[in-house]
Structure formats: C-alpha cells, structure tokens
Amino acid sequence: MDHEQAVRQMTDIVARFTDYAGKHLPDDIMGKLTELRAAEGSPLARVVYDSMFDNLAMAAQLNRPCCQDTGVIQYYLKAGSRFPLLAEVRHILTEAAATATRTAPLRHNAVQIFEEKNTGTNTGERIPWIDWDIVPDSSGIEIEVYMAGGGCSLPGQGKTLMPAAGYEGIVAFVFEVMTTYGVNACPPLLVGIGIGGSIDVAANLSKRALFRPIGSRHPHPRGAAMELLLEKGLNEIGLGPQGLSGTNSVMGVHIETAARHPSTISVAISVGCWAHRRGTLRINDDLSYEILSHKGAQL
C-alpha cells in the first residue's frame, strides 16, 4: 500500500468509528447505566431509565445518533513516536470528522468565531479539537473519539483558588458548580475534575478525566478517597435520571492531577452526561485496528 492509500484507509477507519461512536455508548457506560437503573426505587426514575435504554436500542436499530446534540468532535491521542502516518494525523482526523458528519449524519456544530457562521462540516478553526500525547518507542496510535455536547462537557467551569482554600475549597467549588450548571447536562453525570497549578492545566485534566473507565480510581489513596467521598456527596443531592430526582446523581467522579505552584491551586470541572459518547480505537502501524471501548463492534 502506498502512502496515499494508507492515508485514505486510516481516514476511512476513523470516520466509520466516529460515526459509530455517535450511535452506541461504550461498554462501561452501558454497564453503569444498567447498575443505576437497578438501584432506583421510584417508578418515575425507572421510567426515565427505560426511555434511555429504548432510545439507545432505537438508535442502534435505525442507525441514527443517540442524541440530537452530536456535539463538538474531539480527538484525544496517544500517538506513538514511530507511527508511520504521524505527520498526516491532523489532516486524517479533520477529514474523518467531516465524513462522519455526512454519513452518520451528525448535527453541524462548528461556528467560526467572529464570522459567526456554521461551517456545516463539523470542521473549522481548531475543530475537530485534537489533544496529543506522544508515546516514545511505539509505532501505533490510540484515539479517543469524544462528542462534547453543548449542555454537558463544553460549558465546563474552573477557578484558581488561594492555597489557603485547600481541598475544602475544591470540594466547595465542585458542589457549587454541580448544583448550578451541573444540572444543565442530562444526569446521571460523569464528573471530571482537574486539579493543578493553573487554570489551563486544570481544564485539560478535567476533560481527560472523562476518558478514564468508569470505576477506575486516582492512583494516590487520598485522590481515590476524595473521588469516593465526592461521589457519595453528589449522589445525596438526588438528581436522578434527567434531573427528575432519584437515588443517584452521578455515574462517577474522576480526578486527574498535576503538581502545582505553592501559591496556587486551580480546579476545573467538565461534566459528561448519560449519553457519554466516547470510544477508544487503537490503530497499528500496518493499519490493523482494535476497538477497545465497544466489545464486538463492527465498523
């Protein structure tokens, strides 16, 4: 296969996976929604969960996106330093987003700043958003495809606190945000929290926290304990599915961290909704691939 053919083949794989990710939730989210539905005692909450599962089944059956807001397409990469198409990845992902927009079809959600015009392709200035980690001595690439909705993780919130505010200040901020903007997303919610020394670092980490598998824990015991305590506290708000009240509010709380300056402690929150459309695709240097997030998926 020559270089041009390889570019076309990878574009086709990523386009088909982007299309797929808008119609099928990943296995861990499906498992968590099933668990939360079983935990609900109220008839209203059960009806809402039933409608979510009916909606997902119809989306699969009719081959249509599972939410009307197909979001802004974002790709988070772990790219091997020896991946043969590294130089073409930005072009490939942009073409893939535009193709999936036509094939799925996905709603047009890319509005150019200052022009205030929708491009109609889900591509434009820095859209799709691409976030890179380069992995040394690897020849493959792992791609997280994420559809960030206008009600869930796009309107994230962040704040830089004085260090004296401490971890109590972080918790207070989380509850302030989750009881105001948090309910604009459709619960149950996946709460991504980033903590670091500056607002840009915290914001990026809060988004990355949404890609961790549900049920995974922060590697530091205090981080893991804080995740559990926040989960318990946020569940006690009792948002329930779609915010109509119920036993639980969240699918999980994930914290990602970076060491901070002694004078600052920044915190940011990104919230994923119940229709948390993310998928993980690993492509090898020979362009064979594996879908890690959706068992048995066929593109």
Residue number of the CB atom closest to ligand SF4: 149
26 in contact with ligand SF4 (CB under 6 A): no
Provide Rg for the chain, Cα atoms. 19
Nearer to ligand SF4, 152 or 281 (CB): 152
Handedness of CA 165, 168, 172, 175 (dihedral sign): positive
Q: What is the per-residue DSSP string for 101-140?
A: HHHTT-----EETTTTEE-SSS-BTTBSEEEEEEETT---
59 in contact with ligand SF4 (CB under 6 A): no
Q: Which of 15, 25, 56, 67 binds ligand SF4 (CB under 6 A)?
A: 67
Question: Cβ 152 to ligand SF4, closest distance in Å?
Answer: 4
Query: Which residues pair with residue 190 across a beta bridge?
Result: 252, 272
Q: Which of 105, 151, 155, 197 binds ligand SF4 (CB under 6 A)?
A: 151
Question: Cβ 99 to ligand SF4, closest distance in Å?
Answer: 21
CA distance linking residue 234 with residue 228, whole number of Å: 10
Q: Which of 149, 188, 196, 243 binds ligand SF4 (CB under 6 A)?
A: 149
CA distance linking residue 223 with residue 43, whole number of Å: 35
Question: Cβ 186 to ligand SF4, closest distance in Å?
Answer: 3
Nearer to ligand SF4, 53 or 167 (CB): 53
- Burial class of residue 153, CB neighbours in 10 A (0-12, 13-18, 19+): buried
Look at strands 157-161 and 117-118 and give their pairing. Answer: unpaired
258-287: contacts with ligand SF4 (CB under 6 A)? 273, 275
CA distance linking residue 59 with residue 114, whole number of Å: 35
Look at strands 250-257 and 189-196 and give their pairing. Answer: parallel
CA distance linking residue 103 with residue 94, whole number of Å: 14
Nearer to ligand SF4, 71 or 158 (CB): 71
Nearer to ligand SF4, 90 or 107 (CB): 107
250 in contact with ligand SF4 (CB under 6 A): no
52 in contact with ligand SF4 (CB under 6 A): no
Question: Cβ 187 to ligand SF4, closest distance in Å?
Answer: 9
89 in contact with ligand SF4 (CB under 6 A): no
Which residues of the shown chain bind ligand SF4 in the complex (CB under 6 A)?
A: 67, 69, 71, 149, 151-152, 185-186, 273, 275
